[in-house]
Every structure is written in C-alpha cells, then in structure tokens.
A and B are shown apart, each in its own frame.
Chain A
Amino acid sequence: MHNMRTFTDQPLEEQIAQWRAYLRRRNGVHGPDVEELEGHLRDQLLALTEAGLSGEEAFLVAVKRMGGLDALSREFAHAHSERLWKQLVMTPDAEKPAHTGRSEILVVLSLAVAAALAVKVAALFGLPIDTGEEMFYFRNASLFVFPLLAAYFVWKRGSGVAGGLRLALPFAVGAVFANIFSFPKGSETEVLTILHLPIALWMAVGFAYVRGRHFDDGGRMNFVRFSGELAIYYVLIALGGGVLTGFTMMMFKSIGMDAGWFVGGWLIPCGAAGAVIIGSWLVEAKQSVIENMAPVLTRLFTPLFTVLLLVFLATMVWTGSLISVKREVLIGFDLLLVLVVGLVLYATSARDPEAPADFFDGLQLLLVVSALVVDGVALASIATRISEFGFTPNRVAALGENLILLVNLVWSAWLYARFLRHRGSFAALERWQIVYLPVYSVWAALVVTVFPPVFGYR
C-alpha cells in the first residue's frame, strides 16, 4: 500500500485498514476515491492526535466527522452515475423505484401483452395485417409499442398521472402525422416517415425514462446506455424468436398443417412488439448485475472499423479510383457515419471521465478523422453531380443527416484532439455528445412533419 507515513500507534493503523476495507465494499466509491478519503482521514487524525487526543479518541472523532458511509456512497453514486450502470444496486431509499419484484413482473407482462394486442387492434377495424395494408403497420409500428414502454417508465419511476399525460402528447402528435397524409403507392416520403418517426418518438420515451423531468445530463447518458443495451437484448430475443418460428413451421408441417398464417399474422408482429417491453424490463433489471455489452462491442469493433477505413482510403489513393455516385452511395455513407457516431457515443458512455488519455482514445480519434475523410470524399463526388440529380426527398433527407453527423464528428474530433494534448477534459466530449442527442430526434421529427407536404407526398 501507499503508507509512506503511518501512525506508530498499531491499533490505530488496524482501525484505519478496517475502515478502508469497509469503504471499499461500497459500490459507487472507487479505488482512487477511497485513497482520497483515507488521505483526509489521516490528515484529520494527525491534527487530532497532535492536539492531544489518544489514537482511539481521534479515530472516533475523525470517522464521525467523515459522516455515515451509506449516505456518503450514495452521494458518490449520484456524482458518478455511470458507476451505477456497472454494478450498483442503489442503496435503499436513495431513490424510490418502490415497485419491484412480483408487481413489476405483472405490470411488465400485461404491458407486453397490451403491446402485442395493440398490433392486432387495427385488424378489428378492417385493416388486417396481411392484405395490402402493410404500409399502415410500418408507419405506425413505433406507436404500437413506444407509448406502452413510456407507460412502463411512468409506472416504474412513479411519475404520476399528470406527468404521464404530458408524456402522451408527443405520441398523439406522432399518431396524427403518421396518418393524416395520404401517400400514393411507392411514395418516398412515406418510407421516410416510416424510418424517422421511431427516431423522433424515441426522445419521448427518453423523457419518460428520466421521469419527464428536465433532461439533465446524467439522465441522458443513462438513457443512451439503456438504448444500447435494449438494442442488444432485442437482437438476442429476435434470434430466439427466429428459432421458435422455425420450429413452429417445421412441426406443424410434419403433421400436414401450414402454420404460416399464425406465424405471419400473430407470432412475428405480436412477438416483435412484446419483445420491446420485455427487453426493456430485462435491461432495467440487469443493469445492476452485469457489465454492459454495448461498450464491449464498441471496444471490439473500433479497431476493426479504423483498419477498414484506413485500408479503404489507402486503396483509393493507391488506385486513384473515385467513389462512383450511385443512388445508394449517400445513404451508405450516412450509415457509416451513424456507426462511427455510435462507436464514439458508446465509448464515451462507458469511459471513466477522470481517467487520463490512453491508446484507445487515440484510436477513437483516428477512427473519427478517417471517417470524416472518407465522408468528405464521398460528399465531394456527390456535390459535383447533385444538380443533375435534382432534389428528391430521399436525397435531401440523406444530405441533412450527413450534415448533422458531420458536425457532430468534426467537433468530437476537435475535442478528442484537445483531450489527447491535455488541453481539455474528457468531460467536455461527453457533454458535447449528450447535448447533441436531441438534434437527431428534432431532425427526424422535421422529416416526418414537414417533408411530405413540402415534396407533395411523392
């Protein structure tokens, strides 16, 4: 240990060691914090013993002044909410998520069933799922599930009826805009609505997640963590669902029956809706138990994508071949930027903001810069020919998204560079990512509400 200077009083040293061990067991208080607090305790003890108190007396006074460890570790956990996500089951009474255990399972199950049935309600009003009305279902997909997910958080966080009603408003607006426009067949703006409405409404779920209160920053980052974990759980559940579907088809076929109507009309749509609720509950329940997956995947894929981008750039320079501008290219590069932003975001979410810069941070910067270069090349080749293409809704949406992501990455790169050169703190980068989050949802809302009329629903 770091006892350069210890007390000659052996029992006192033992008591300090005991106190340290006791503090270490607290979640939310990490190694360096323990060291800092121990330093404080020792300074205090030194002053007290010099003032004439015996070792034991001094220890009692110093520990008393330090305060209760329950309250202390709770304060530490609040100041570093990312630690909660790693391992903390909040000390009781710190927050009041009062509902746990059996009642929670009942609520979750009924909400999941409600989500599954919500998908089937429209069929009662003459819009069956399998007779050419798919577009209605795609447009409203998020509306079948997200309000119920928000309801779960309203219940879980005890936000109350008034808060719940306020949270319902965005969903009502979303429902209006998903259904008032009459899109012709094959309309581009309809597809844009289908893709963007969930992004816009996800922010409303976020409001419910952080209790509808002011979107304060710790809460937002927790919602990002939640979203990443939910996506992973959802994929896992979907894999299981695929196996279940396969067996359903195979077994009924073996006795000469076709289960296709059930699988297509019930199992897949209802399961997909219910799984969102179940997945969310699992994330909420497990957040305290396991290490998060999203940051692990980020660590794994950041180097791989960096290598891909560098090799791609090198190849382009070496062979002199330019990006050929086809229809999908812009969207493809949008997705690349989404991915890079995601990697940065999840690397940020799992990082201890106080830790010094390390190799991985350099790698992140390299990833961001190479993505920027690749995107710049793509944009340049698109820009030269944009006049030939004309402005279709798809292209405007894709360009807008490219711009939004580009702004995020340029500033992130700047902040990373400052951090790596010890000119700025990592917290600044974290704050930038958090502050930027609503931009995505606002843009998505804009695409849903403004694009269809502006482009004549084509």
Chain B
Amino acid sequence: MDVSKDLVAASATPLVLAILAEGDSYGYAIIKRVTELSGGQLRWTDGMLYPVLHRLERQGYVAAKWSASETGRRRKYYRITKEGRAQLAERQQQWKAVDGTLRGIWMQACTT
C-alpha cells in the first residue's frame, strides 16, 4: 500500500520536525528514518525533502549548519529550534484531532 501524495505532503512537516526532535540529522538520514519508521509505506521523492527543510529553516523551525561528514565531504546538518518544538507540539494536537475523528467513525462502522 502506498500512501497518497497529498497525505505524504501534509505529513512531511510534522514528520521531519519529529525526526529532528530525536536528534540533529541530515537529508539522507532523515529519508532513511522515514522509510524505517513507516515500514516502507511512506515513500518520499528524495529531492522533495530539501525544499521542505529549507522552508522550515526559513520559518525558523529548524536551524542548519554545514559541517564535515564522516565521508570527508561537507554536509548540511539540521537541528530543531525552540519554535520548531512548539510547532511540532501544535501539529501533534492537529493530527491527534484528525486521527481521533477518523477512529471514532471507523469504530462505529465496525460495531454497527
């Protein structure tokens, strides 16, 4: 099963913020983590992660820094900011509301 494109786009921001809340990371590792977390069901077009990251950087939710990586090539690392954490908490509430609503109606559908 592949998750629809709209849903992938909508979940991108909270997912990226949540992954960065686990610890600083960089693009490739974030994608790997997403695949791992979703058991491969959530497939991103890899490149599309970067505009999302840059937008979050611009909104002040993440901060970025270029540093050397273990391969010797420099790499852009991202870190979640205080505002980012607040934003993540807000998104969590929103997703919970959606999730709760859907669960409610599906439970009803099962019991009737």
Contact = CB atoms under 8 A, between A and B. Distances in A.
Task: Tell me, yes or no, whether A binds B.
Answer: yes
A39 B75 contact: yes
Contact of A33 (B50, B66, B73): B50
Interface residues of B, number: 27
A432 to B, nearest CB: 11
B47 A37 contact: yes
Contacts of B74: 2, 35, 39
Contacts of B48: 67, 71-72, 75
Nearest to A2: B73
Contact of A66 (B46, B54, B55): B46
A3 B71 CA distance: 10
Interface stretch (A76-84, A100-108, A207-215): A76-84
A427 B59 contact: yes
A67 B45 contact: yes
A428 B50 contact: no
Contacts of B19: none
A265 interface: no
B76 to A, nearest CB: 5
Interface stretch (A40-48, A245-253, A306-314): A40-48
A242 B65 CA distance: 53
Interface in A393-431: 425, 427-428, 431
A290 interface: no
A327 interface: no
A32 interface: yes
Interface in A62-102: 65-69, 71-72, 75-76, 78-80
Interface residues of A, number: 33
B21 interface: no
A2 B75 CA distance: 11
Nearest to A424: B60
Given A2-B73, A67-B48, A78-B51, A40 B58 contact: no
Contact of A40 (B46, B55, B60): B46
Interface in B38-94: 45-48, 50-52, 54-55, 57-60, 63-64, 66, 69, 71-76
A424 to B, nearest CB: 9
Contacts, number: 85
Contact of A354 (B47, B57, B75): B57
B14 interface: no
A36 interface: yes
B86 to A, nearest CB: 15
A425 B73 contact: no
B46 A36 contact: no
B71 A40 contact: no
A80 B55 CA distance: 8
B46 A65 contact: yes
Nearest to B43: A65
B95 interface: no
A164 interface: no
Contact of A44 (B28, B50, B66, B73): B28
Contacts of A79: 51-52, 54-55, 58
Nearest to A1: B73
A62 B31 CA distance: 13
Nearest to B70: A5
Contacts of B60: 425, 427-428, 431
5 contacts: A33-B50, A36-B76, A39-B74, A40-B27, A44-B46
Given A36-B76, A44-B28, A431-B60, 13 more contacts: A5-B72, A39-B74, A66-B46, A66-B47, A67-B46, A67-B47, A71-B48, A72-B47, A76-B51, A78-B51, A79-B58, A353-B58, A354-B58
